[in-house]
Chains A and B, each alone.
Chain A
Amino acid sequence: MKFRKSAALAATVLTLSLTATACGSGDDDGKIKIGIKYDQPGLGLKTPDGEFKGFDVDVATYVAKELGYKESDIEWVKAPTPERENMLSRGDVKFIAASYSITPERKEKVSFAGPYFLAHQDLLVRKDDNSFKDVKVLNDKKLCSVTGSTSAQNVQKKFAPKADLQQYPGYSQCLTGLENEAVDALTTDDSILAGYAAQKDHQGKFKLAGLNLSNENYGIGIKKGDKKLQADINKALEKMVKDGAWEKAVKDNFGPADYKYEPAPKITENS
């Protein structure tokens, strides 16, 4: 009998802990887990002393506050590009704000709130290089981007199939080549590029070409079909734009790059 009791107790504890891990978004202990990028200056960056900085971080902090979490309740989680959909559908994080463009393929697996930012694919070039006037010149240029990224595929399939495209695991490797004139331009979303241009080590070396090659609507990724969370986040984003916090976050993070950003986009993800 005694054994049965303890077995039942153990089973209960086990079930409880299992359910706790199953909905690991952290509602139970008043914490919230948010996925961001750790390696994109300007958007989401983990500094050497363990702080998190960037526009995505500011937006996520604001949204979390509106959802009722203090800043100290936020637990930042690294959200690498290929993992994002699975992190959301497994429930590892409550939401993801990580330069996450809203696309039909992604919407098969997750839902989005927002968009909260409109970025364009653009080029980062050396300060003294004025040859990037329109998209046609790209075919004669050496470009650099991140292996397999949407930006790299856009170049190969849409804008400049003949361009010499070098692909590296990270944008930082491209910057070495750009400085040494081994490549002519680094291409990805202008928000990311502005982040690099605004970094202390790189200020004054590079500039944005301003070609606006594509539209990337950044949304906040959430678990598929979570309409309540979607509505709450949308409300928070609208409030953020209205009370000026959005504008301030953009200025704080992209300011030194001389980046002509778009006004806050209209919320479209509400079904």
Chain B
Amino acid sequence: MFDFLEGYDLLGAFWVTVQLTVYSAIGSLVWGTLLAAMRVSPVPVMRGFAAVYVNLMRNTPLTIVILFTSLGLNQTLGVTLAGGDQDSVLFRLAVLGLIAYTATFVCESLRAGINTVPMGQAEAARALGLSFPQVLALVVLPQAFRAVVAPLTNVLIALTKNTTVAATIGVAEAALLMKEMIEVESDAIFLVFSVFAFGFVVLTLPMGLLLGWVAKRVAVKR
């Protein structure tokens, strides 16, 4: 029944999906945290920049963001992000696009988390003489992160599925292999779909269960 899978590197394709997810998750966590810090900072220029960036980026379809990294940055402007062959360039471009997009959702989740930290905490910290970066890094953000583990899990799961958009510019991940298989194995088209759907369930379900458990453990009881 599953003999149509022969000759295809299914695990390899899903491995690329995992790599895309991991790199983009780390990148968007960093960039998203910076954006959130900017959005609550006392400097108006930073607040303004972060607000414009977040609203612009999260309202742009991901397909367009990813396609732009390839057609705009790579083909027209010649950006290669440290060079190498086409495959690794495309992979990095896709990661760049995914980070730029996903970071906005991380930022907004985190900003919600910051709002759960009582005002008195920040005021007390400031009264102790801490500067704004210290207030944020030592007092507010550690509590904010613990409040938003569950929403961030949703962002991570969405990111995992969004990596399929990288097929748009030809990154050889799961969705691209699926397109190849649909082209050739036209007699087993629904089985092909099911295999890939199952693959994504295998990736995302444990993620949700594990992080759901973590969310319960670390939540700040107020």
| B184:A105 contact, CB within 8 angstroms | yes
A106 touches B186 (CB 8 A): yes
Chain A window 138-171, contacts with chain B (Cβ cutoff 8 Å), 1 for yes, 0 for no: 0000100001111011000000000011111100
Q: Is there a chain B Cβ closer than 8 Å to A108's Cβ?
A: yes
- How many residues in B have their beta carbons less than 8 Å from beta carbons of A? 28
Measured CB to CB, the closest approach of chain B to A189, in angstroms, equals: 13
What is the bound-complex CA distance between A109 and B67, given in angstroms? 34
Q: A147: which B residues are within 8 A, CB to CB? A: 167-168, 170, 176, 179
Beta-carbon nearest neighbor of A150 in chain B: B183
Report whether A165 and B86 are in contact in the complex, using a CB–CB cutoff of 8 Å: yes
Contacts of A152 in B (CB 8 A): 180
Within 8 A of A (CB), among B67-98: 67, 70-71, 74-76, 78, 85-87, 90
| Residues from chain B with Cβ under 8 Å of A164 in the complex | 85-87
Q: Give bound CA distance, A142 to B167, whole Å.
A: 18
- Contact B183 A177, beta carbon cutoff 8 Å: no
CB-CB nearest in chain A for B78: A182
**B5 → chain A, closest Cβ, in Å?**
14
Alpha-carbon gap, A85 to B180, bound state (A): 15
* Residue-wise interface mask of B (201-218) relative to A, using a CB-CB cutoff of 8 A (1 in contact, 0 not): 000000000000000000
Query: Contact: A169 with B186, CB < 8 Å?
Result: no
A58-90 CB contact bits vs B (8 Å, 1 = yes)?
000000000000000000000001101110000
* In the bound complex, CA of A249 to CA of B39 (Å): 62
Interchain CA distance A183-B179 in the complex, whole Å: 22
Contact A86 B167 (CB under 8 A): no
> Once the chains are docked, how many angstroms separate the CA of A123 from the CA of B86?
19
A contact residues vs B (CB 8 Å cutoff): 81-82, 84-86, 105-106, 108-109, 142, 147-150, 152-153, 164-169, 173, 176-177, 180, 182-183
Q: List 9 A-B contacts (CB under 8 A).
A: A82-B182, A105-B184, A105-B185, A148-B167, A148-B178, A148-B179, A148-B180, A165-B170, A182-B76
Which 8 residue pairs across A and B have the least CB separation, nearest first? A148-B179, A167-B170, A164-B86, A108-B187, A182-B75, A148-B180, A177-B75, A82-B182
